[in-house]
Amino acid sequence: MEKKIGVYICSGCGIGASIDLEALSAVAGEYKAGVCRTDPFLCGSVGLATIKADIDTEGVNSIVIAACSPRVMTDVFDFSPDKVVERVNLREQVAWCQPAGEEDTLMMAEDALRMGLVKVGESQPLEPFIAEDLSRKILVVGGGLTGMTAALEAAKAGYETVLVEREEKLGGYLKDVYRLPPCEPPYESLQDFNLEQMSAEVFGEPKVTVYTGAMVGSVAGAPCMFDVEISQNGATRSERVGAIILATGSVPYDATKLTSLSYGSTPDIITARDLEAMFTRRDVKRPSNGQPVGSVAFVLCAGSRDPQHLPYCSSACCVESLKQARYFKEANPETPVYIFYKDIRSTGNYELLYKQLQKDGVVFVRGSVTGIEDDGSGALVVTSDDVLTRSAVMSESVDLVVLATGMVPTSALGEPFKVAAPQQDGQPAPVASDAILVSNLLNLKYRQGPELPGLEYGFPDSHFICFPYESRRTGIYPSGTVRAPMDYQQARTDAMGAALKAIQCVEMVSVGKAVHPRAGDQSYPDFFMQRCTQCKRCTEECPFGAINEDEKANPLPNPTRCRRCGVCMGACPERIISFKNYSVGMIGNMIKNINVPDEYDEKPRILVLVCENDAYPALDMAGILGHSHNPWMRFISVRCLGSVNLVWIADALSKGIDGIMLLGCKHGNDYQCHFIKGSELANTRMTKIQETLDRLALESDRVRMEQVAITDFNLLPKMLDDFAEKVNSLGPNPYKGF
Amino acid sequence: MADAKDSARTILVAGGGIAGLSAAVEAAEAGFSVILVEREPSLGGRVARMNKYFPKLCPPQCGLEINFRRIRSNPLIRVMTMSEVGKIEGEAGNFTVAVRVNPRYVNEKCTGCGKCQEAATTFIPHPLNGGLSTVKAAYLPHEFAYPMRYVIAPEVIGTPEAKAIEAACEYGAIETDMAEKIEEVKAGAIIWATGWTPFDTSAISYYGAGKYRNVVSNALMERLASANGPFKGVISRPSDGKAVKKVAFVQCAGSRDENNLAYCSSVCCLASLKQATYVLDQEPEADVSIFYIDIRALGRQENFFEKVRQDKRVRLVKGKPGEIAENPENGMVTVQVEDQETGRILREEFDLVVLAAGMVPTTAGQKIPASGVSYDEYGFVLANGQTPGIIGAGCSRRPADVSTTVQDATAAVLKAIQACRR
């Protein structure tokens, strides 16, 4: 398609008063734009009509809007998908943050327009990736409360689901559960539930295919094209599915490790699960002698909140123990019941259950349990450091002690897929918190490993507070207690949320759109394979494991797994990975088109590569607030700092640009990078380039990376000014003018 | 923004806070049309007023920006600000909803240039900052506002100032004669996500909230700490603007108290631990006391609790303060409490006392204008109502943190899709 570029410059909102638009329009001429017009109110009806008329009558198909930030008026400047639109931010990032009428302000605007023109000239309209033989089915792995709920509720929303359960019967942990804590009024009373009924409902739902006694042997492919092998009774069944919900739950912490709580010393110290099973079988008695349980003590945090065992809180055990204490009080209000606890974590309306048990006369003892011993008669005495009375407290002798063991996600049960090299002292290296453990749940045929990477403690939870379902494998949503410790009520909700995310994934992917966070994006990376050197950087660095490789180590991209962050593009030393509207060459040419005055002009130039997610809005905000900063800055917005290819640094330095700054999201444990690893990778790459710069006798201080939060708008101007000062003190780039 | 033609595939979301916002984008990305109805001039609700989220201490605006971007690029979502749901009739699959649109006095031609603000002369209390700062009567709700459109305060309508404001706009965006109107829309399902309000702690007379200026709620504490708050992010005493050093947090101010809120509000423990870090980060010589009953840090939040607990400048005291008093001379606030671990009565002075006010569902006061919706005695929306297709989400259903709220909102969308299929 022949490009016909139209440039539309808005003079409104103070732009015309700040920038000499006649001079600016001349830039459009330099780049042979077919049309260049200025309008006082481009987003108004007249302005828009002008653009539309040029599209219709002049054949304009590539449009540069030199006006406000792309963060506003997005729907207004949205033309048909076959048109390429580039927004040049003259308002927030030039006119509103630079002194009006200055030469430097004009030069900044001119460079912004030059870069926009290069970009629009090299961008192509997007064609969505639509794969063949797409499936919209949803696979649910695990048939406990979460899995059953997810399968059933997705089916009720109209989607075919496949439910795979390891055991012969559905129900998981629920098979041993007698009653549930209250989730509706009266909040003091326990709730009945009927597993048989729920199970029958699952089997009776025509849209749900159930495989029991079955395991997922392997999962190959990508969203809408996952090929799943299910092994059942020695046979293998195949299913093609669109998205996957991982609902394999958790197991109770291994009580045999709780020697300090004397587990195993007598059969009368049991776990919460054992007690639940006793009630479910209507067979509550002392395991040691079969006599009725006349008194009972519960020990909370058995393993949880303990750095020796599970450092986290298992969330549900407090309420679960309150529930079990209530079993005894309902059966006989006179039964002595003790609860030894650190904090009672009965959040929300569970507080009313806690209040009820206080009224029931349960004895609550706050402190650490120091021992559980036989009183000599076969009954047990629990000793605790009571914080409230600051002394050792012993229970009366009790018939039964129940340990509220914590939750261990099934995803934590396995050895690391990749074993790190031993440390220098020969000790094995610690397992990284996000290691992939071979836990035999999904058996993904992904180059990066067969399961979801963990976040912490083996839970493949999202690290995004605002986006709890985001895993690091596109189209696979962990849900229920495998994702995070939670109670029944939350697991049910979690199942429904995960089902919605799975539905959304198949809906988006089947029309060629990306899912979160670039939701709706139709661009995807294209690999120019002839020049690939099989260096494996793209496959290793993709935060989402989107790229497999063949036996010769050629990358095999999976566009429906891709989140369009461009980390692969940033990683590739051969620059063979490109999007139609974002590529190494394109950004490189934008850099090369920055006008760099010679050293005698004393106008240094600084390239600022700005992450579009948080740093770019923060710059906008600084503009809205009228904060000004050094005018030598030339901003290019990037999808993620992880997409920054080192060749851009070389491009900039050989062009004579004096300094380069990267503004991106926080990395490290509490990362805010929207693509998880992008800003961290950029940081690693920059450390390397700084070594190279030093070797070339180019000061490494010319390149700086800063972490910027979206709320740093008051700090940004100083950050920019400080860097400008540093660059100025280094003197001109010695390559200037070459 | 497309009109929702096929009402059975339209979901109306009431409330544009994090629950409603999440529900709206999740539903639209699943292919449904959405009408998002928000009472305020911009989206974001409670979280847009916050400084940081626990436990990552990341700014809420980061996630809001992603959601706003998803809205901007999705033609299936229609946002109605300054709007409230007036009346709901019909049934799942076919609701008719009367939406009351209050006048903003600024139309969609607004470019956000700010000329109206320059022309305005009257100052009104800043709607976000609890009376601690003012803003011109023509204002942008905040820098992050979506939609980025100005608002004219009704206080100046009908005055010569309004005429001057109107004249200052070069784009014909000011309409001082704008009036309230009712728009009728159709939807297949309704997600109710009107969130919560902080418990009015002045009901606890012996804590002095509303009487002593340096006794503030946790909600106001977020504003005190915010870069766009009344003190530009330096936590200071409302009485004299002096930066704080010694701060007390009083947990369960209203919650877990049968005279006030019998339930636990679920988030206040972590909110106070988080706010403690605001003080610790700001002031090397900070001295923070947290008075609590139980610290409820579920799941991996335990790590955050541990991190704060290990800071030597933090003291955790198990005990519920009995009385708070102010020294009118210097604004210092004295807290009296029995330390349950030592049995001693403590009486100490602080620069600032933060009351961890609980969450009251908005539906405790303003019920859903439809028949057949059930609530518990505290006003939380129950799932077993008689009208399927009206689905509570987020803190309308139970007190919850942001992550749980988003999870709940996502689940509510599934319920809504099911209702649309009826």
Interchain contact, B26 vs A709, CB within 8 Å: no
| Pairing outcome for strands B345-350 and B333-338 | antiparallel
CATH, domain A1-125, list 1.10.405, 3.40.50, 2.130.10, 1.10.4100: 3.40.50
Type and span of the H or E element at B182 = strand B181-187
At residue A698, the pLDDT reads 83
Give me the residues of B, 227-266, that contact A with CB < 8 A.
Answer: 227-228, 232-233, 255-256, 258, 262-266
Q: Which residue of A has its CA nearest to B171?
A: A41
Cβ of A424: how many Cβ atoms within 10 Å?
A: 6
Hey, do A1-125 and A526-579 end up sharing a CATH topology, with the first three levels equal? no
Q: Which residue of A has its CA nearest to B383?
A: A184
CB contacts < 8 Å between A and B, how many? 237
- Please give the structure tokens belonging to residue A597: 């005055």
Interface test with A, best of B11, B54, B61, B62 (most A CBs within 10 A): B62
Domain at B200-357: CATH architecture: 3-Layer(bba) Sandwich (3.50)
Domain ranges for chain A, please list them.
1-125, 138-251+411-509, 254-405, 526-579, 581-738
Hey, do B7-102+180-197+360-420 and B200-357 end up sharing a CATH topology, with the first three levels equal? yes
At residue B3, the pLDDT reads 42
Nearest-neighbour CA in chain A from B380: distance (Å)? 10
Give me the residues of B, 87-146, that contact A with CB < 8 A.
Answer: 109, 111-113, 140, 143-144
**Among the partner residues A187, A348, A508, nearest to B399 by beta-carbon distance:** A348
At residue B342, the pLDDT reads 86
- Please give the structure tokens belonging to residue A480: 């229920």
Fold of B7-102+180-197+360-420: FAD/NAD(P)-binding domain (3.50.50)
> Which chain B residues are closer than 8 Å to A40 by Cβ?
170
Q: What is the 3-state secondary structure (H, E, C) of A595-616?
A: CCCCHHHCCCCEEEEEECCCHH
Q: Which residue of A has its CA nearest to B74?
A: A520
At residue A608, the pLDDT reads 98
CATH, domain A581-738, list 1.10.1740, 3.90.105, 3.40.50, 1.10.3470: 3.40.50
> Which chain B residues are closer than 8 Å to A711 by Cβ?
59, 61, 226-228
Q: Which residue of A has its CA nearest to B172?
A: A44
At residue A388, the pLDDT reads 67
Is the ipTM above a cut-off of 0.85? yes
Q: Which residue of A has its CA nearest to B226?
A: A711
d(CA A113, CA B375): 57
Q: Which residue of B has its CA nearest to A387?
A: B341
DSSP codes, A131-192: -SS----EEEE--SHHHHHHHHHHHHTT--EEEE-SSSSS-GGGGG---B--SSSSTTS-B-
At residue A738, the pLDDT reads 67
Apex B393 CA angle, B390 and B396, nearest 5:
100
Type and span of the H or E element at A440 = none
Number of H-type helices and E-type strands within chain B: 8, 22
> Which chain A residues are closer than 8 Å to B361 by Cβ?
none
Apex B355 CA angle, B354 and B358, nearest 5:
140
Q: Which stretches of B84-194 are DSSP H helices?
A: 115-119, 160-168
Nearest-neighbour CA in chain B from A355: distance (Å)? 9
d(CA B194, CA A684): 44
Secondary structure of residue B148 in the 3-state scheme: coil
pTM of the model: 0.97
Beta strands per DSSP E along B254-389:
287-292, 314-318, 323-326, 333-338, 345-350, 352-357, 359-361
Give me the residues of B, 339-368, that contact A with CB < 8 A.
Answer: 340-342
Residue B421: phi and psi, rounded to 5, are -80, -5
CB B367 within 8 A of CB B192: no
Nearest-neighbour CA in chain A from B406: distance (Å)? 7
The domain A138-251+411-509: what is its CATH number?
A: 3.50.50.60
Interchain contact, A485 vs B298, CB within 8 Å: yes
Positions of chain A with pLDDT lower than 50, given as ranges? none
Give me the residues of B, 28-87, that contact A with CB < 8 A.
Answer: 29-31, 53, 56-67, 69-70, 72-75
Domain ranges for chain B, please list them.
7-102+180-197+360-420, 115-168, 200-357
Nearest-neighbour CA in chain A from B323: distance (Å)? 21
**Among the partner residues A12, A352, A465, nearest to B263 by beta-carbon distance:** A352
At residue A626, the pLDDT reads 96
Q: Which of B214, B309, B235, B233 is nearest to B269 (CA)?
A: B309
pLDDT mean for each 10 residues of chain B (422 residues): 62 98 98 98 97 97 97 96 97 96 98 97 94 95 95 97 97 97 97 98 95 97 96 95 97 96 98 98 97 97 97 97 95 96 93 98 97 95 88 97 98 97 80
- Please give the structure tokens belonging to residue A537: 């950087």
The domain A526-579: what is its CATH number?
A: 3.30.70.20
Residue B262: phi and psi, rounded to 5, are -70, -25
Interchain contact, A12 vs B170, CB within 8 Å: yes
Fold of A254-405: FAD/NAD(P)-binding domain (3.50.50)
Interface test with A, best of B50, B53, B69, B374 (most A CBs within 10 A): B69
At residue B121, the pLDDT reads 98
Q: Which residue of A has its CA nearest to B303?
A: A312
